[in-house]
Amino acid sequence: MGVTRETMDTAYVYDPIYLEHDLPSHPENARRLKHILSTLEDEGMLARLRLLEPRPATAEELQRVHTSRYIEQVQRKARTGGGYLDPDTYVCPRSFDAALMAAGGVVRAVEAVLAGEVANGFALVRPPGHHATATRAMGFCLFNNIAVAARAAMATPFPLVGGRAGDGGRVERVFIADFDVHHGNGTQDTFADAPAVFYFSSHQYPHYPGTGHWSETGNGAGKGTVLNVPLPPGVGDAGYAQVFAELVWPLAERFRPDLILVSAGYDAHWSDPLAQMNLSLTGYAWLEQELVRMAEQLCDGRIVFTLEGGYQLDVLACGVLNAFYAMLGEDIIADPIGPSPHPERPVDALVARLKEVHGLD
């Protein structure tokens, strides 16, 4: 009997070096990942998953997204003892090595999924990445892990298992979904003119970093391959579900990706200290289940999540746990915190405008 996607493992990527990028007084610190791992262990999840050991991103892989000068700047800052690259983004002596392994870790997960080594997976990496641009660190991010992985996927021919192969087996189209509460400006900048990558972001607006207006839909040949959903504070489970049903699903079906990548940030939860959104863990779990279902329907289940933000530790850990339940095909949802006590804001007018902008009638 042959190996099928139904019999393949769900994987996670982890290495202890991710804990060595750490500033305990900073919101993005090593406690975040430690809490995730301890929760996965306590819930018996780690024993059910396959560990993929990461490897450092190569210079070629990084340079598909970042300039050599910027890469050298990060390396030099780490070698000279660390410090800040911008007011929000710190570097420790081991941060450059951790950042190489973070980008390489997402690439490793993508390679394993594309080669049929595993069914799907979650890269539990730090530092996060979606704010990092070609030339600068931003918003706690050093290298843009998901952008490096997307470029790597499209640069290497893979014999795609069970699905529609691209030219010579190569991944031709990648759909990136970003549900972090902050707009992934670095990811958008990387792919704004790239018709082969669709970038979707739902984010609080106006909020850091100030980008992600609904009118930003891509440039040149990439026009129409960016969906920004700038949500006002207070939108919760119902609003996010409406966005997925009326915008994300039809645009993903139109795009027909070979691979789905997810920038998974859990700071849109109603109890997160850095934002003012209204998602519950149950709402987050529904988004994760929808993305897994989208991958199953559109690209033979090929999906990789990677860790971005989220600063309420129990929310962060349960959000990741629920992603694994979704990838394992189980309906279990861990939500010890419960629904938001705040009323939700409607999104009907925004959704209607975006349907018009993106030609969805």
pLDDT tens sequence across 330-352: 999 999 999 999 999 999 999 99
pLDDT over threshold 90, residue 164: no
pLDDT at 361: 80
pLDDT at 4: 53
In DSSP terms, 51 is beta-bridged to 12
pLDDT over threshold 70, residue 71: yes
Q: What is the mean pLDDT of the chain?
A: 95
| Sign of the alpha-carbon torsion through 319, 85, 134, 149 | negative
pLDDT over threshold 60, residue 355: yes
Q: Residue 158's pLDDT band (boundaries 50, 70, 90)?
A: low
Q: What is the mean pLDDT of residues 274-301?
A: 98
Which of the following is catalytic: 21, 66, 131, 203? 131
pLDDT at 185: 98
pLDDT over threshold 50, residue 146: yes
pLDDT over threshold 60, residue 2: no
Of 194, 284, 271, 198, nearest to 237 (Cα)?
Answer: 284
pLDDT at 166: 46
Tokens of 44: 């018996």
pLDDT tens sequence across 27-54: 999 999 999 999 999 999 999 999 999 9
Q: What is the mean pLDDT of residues 207-236?
A: 98
- Rounded CA-CA distance 256/261 in Å is 13
Q: Residue 161's pLDDT band (boundaries 50, 70, 90)?
A: low
pLDDT over threshold 50, residue 92: yes
pLDDT over threshold 60, residue 165: no
pLDDT at 162: 55
pLDDT over threshold 50, residue 101: yes
Q: What is the mean pLDDT of residues 76-104?
A: 98
Q: Are 305 and 149 in contact (CB under 8 A)?
A: no
State yes or no: is 213 an active-site residue: no
| Sign of the alpha-carbon torsion through 352, 356, 359, 361 | positive
Q: Residue 1's pLDDT band (boundaries 50, 70, 90)?
A: very low
Report the percent of the chain where pLDDT is more than 90.
93
Q: What is the pTM of this model?
A: 0.97
pLDDT over threshold 90, residue 301: yes
pLDDT at 168: 54
Q: What is the mean pLDDT of residues 263-274?
A: 98
